[in-house]
Amino acid sequence: MNVATYTGASEPRIGYVELQVSDLERSVEFYQKLIGFSILKKDDNTVQLTADGVSPHLILTQSEDFVERPSRSTGLYHLAILVPTRQDLALAFTHLMEADYPMQGASDHQYSEALYLADPDNNGIEIYADRDSAEWVRDNSGGYVGATNQLDFEGLLSEIKDAKWTGLSKGTRIGHMHLQASDLEASKKFYVEALGFDIVAQDSHMLFVSKDAYHHHIGMNTWAGTGIPKPPENALGLMHFTFHLNQDEYEAAKNGLTKANFQFQENDQTITTEDPSGIKLKLILKN
């Protein structure tokens, strides 16, 4: 358990998320007009979306032979877009309300405030803003105490003042990934023992892990059941996501995967691997 205090000074840990979508044009329109990304690069069947105009944060891909992802299968629970300020969150909320887009929920999680919705292919999305890490509550073992309390909409909306929604602010990043897993003990062996993540919260159906003492970079749950299968290779939804490691972490991850007999490939300072739930990730060396 990492009991250091999160400072936010480290560079973003999650790079980009790649999704398989059923209608590329429709998904691009959604992520541009409703969420606020802009196009970084596009070709016939792939579009890279960005919040800062420099790095891809979301890659959308459409292939002709896609199939629906079974609901009781591993993969994406939601991808979480971290906006820099509470005002950004308030503006996102009012923009979605004005567009009359259906929301799935809104919560105060103690360490963050969050909005929930889904994209046109029913991929879960969280848009959230962190509270000051000095306010995050820890339990006796050093983990973070989360909550699912009602969001203070009145307080949130008071942050807007004269600001107008103009898309995602430059400091926006993919803050965390929440995954539908098949076996949390197997996930723990992969993410904690092999890759060196710290456990920051856990119970019998949920495991949250992170680097840098963050409240979670990767969340996993078995709420859909234990032992659920991975979806077909060409299913809609999560194709893979990337995670940044420093030199020491990268070498330790390589050693950990080797020692635990997890399969991986290494190419151009990138480790490509698959967790025990069949979820693909790329570990990228960042200096």
- Return the SS3 of 133: helix
Token duo for residue 157? 């909306």
Fold of the CATH domain 14-285: 2,3-Dihydroxybiphenyl 1,2-Dioxygenase; domain 1 (3.10.180)
- What's the pLDDT score for residue 99? 97
Tens-digit pLDDT string for the chain (287 aa): 556 788 876 789 999 999 999 999 999 999 999 999 999 999 989 999 999 999 999 999 998 899 999 989 999 999 999 999 999 999 999 999 999 999 999 999 999 999 999 999 999 999 999 999 999 999 988 899 999 999 999 999 999 999 999 999 999 999 999 999 999 999 999 999 999 999 999 999 999 999 999 999 999 999 999 999 999 999 999 999 999 999 999 999 999 999 999 999 999 999 999 999 999 999 999 97
- What's the pLDDT score for residue 161? 92
Supply the DSSP symbol for 246.
-
C-alpha span between 285 and 287 (Å, rounded): 7
Token duo for residue 23? 């209608």
Torsions phi, psi for 249 (to 5 deg): -65, -40
pTM of the full structure: 0.97
- What's the pLDDT score for residue 8? 76
H or E element in which residue 185 lies: helix 184-188
- Nearest to 139, CA basis, from 223, 196, 215, 220: 215
C-alpha span between 259 and 154 (Å, rounded): 52
* Cα 163 to Cα 87, 104, 135, 176, distances in angstroms: 8, 25, 26, 27
- What's the pLDDT score for residue 23? 97
pLDDT digits (tens, 9 = 90+) for 190-201: 999 999 999 999
Supply the DSSP symbol for 67.
B
Token duo for residue 197? 């993540």
8 A C-beta contact, residue 18 and residue 61: yes
Supply the DSSP symbol for 235.
B
- What's the pLDDT score for residue 106? 97
Q: Give CA angle at 284 (11, 267), nearest 5°.
A: 160
Q: Where are the domains of the chain?
A: 14-285
Token duo for residue 205? 């159906």
